[in-house]
Amino acid sequence: MARILTDIPDEDIEKLDALAKRQGKSRAAEIREAVKLHLIHNAENNDWIERWAGLWADRDDIPDGVEYQQAMREDRRPYEDI
């Protein structure tokens, strides 16, 4: 792993440190993640599905898709009755 030196505005460093603290990560880990996401986002050969697959995997406020579909279909007649 290489080390680099870069100038970042003080206000961005403050925001970065606050984010790192909330996430329980180091400043360096947050910078590595940001660089990785930037490279993924700007890759020429990357398909958009690969770039964004699993984006909301850690979200607790989004219900399971299958459960949602089943709930939406509960009021429909069974196929046997058609």
Q: Which residue has the higher pLDDT, 43 or 28?
A: 28
Q: Is residue 16 part of a domain?
A: yes
Which domain covers residue 22, as residue numbers? Answer: 10-76
pLDDT of 13 above 70: yes
Predicted TM-score (pTM) of the model is 0.52
Quote the pLDDT of residue 17: 96
Give the chain's domain count.
1
The first and second tokens of residue 22, run together, are 């909330």
pLDDT tens for each residue of 51-81: 778 887 777 787 788 888 888 888 777 666 6
Q: Is residue 1 part of a domain?
A: no
Q: Which residue has the higher pLDDT, 69 or 35?
A: 35
Q: Is residue 30 part of a domain?
A: yes
> Is residue 27 a contact partner of residue 20, using CB atoms and an 8 Å limit?
yes
Contacts of 17 (CB under 8 A, 6+ apart): 27
Count the neighbouring beta carbons within 10 Å of the beta carbon of residue 46: 13
Burial of residue 30, with CB atoms counted within 10 A of its CB: 0-12 exposed, 13-18 middle, 19 or more buried: middle
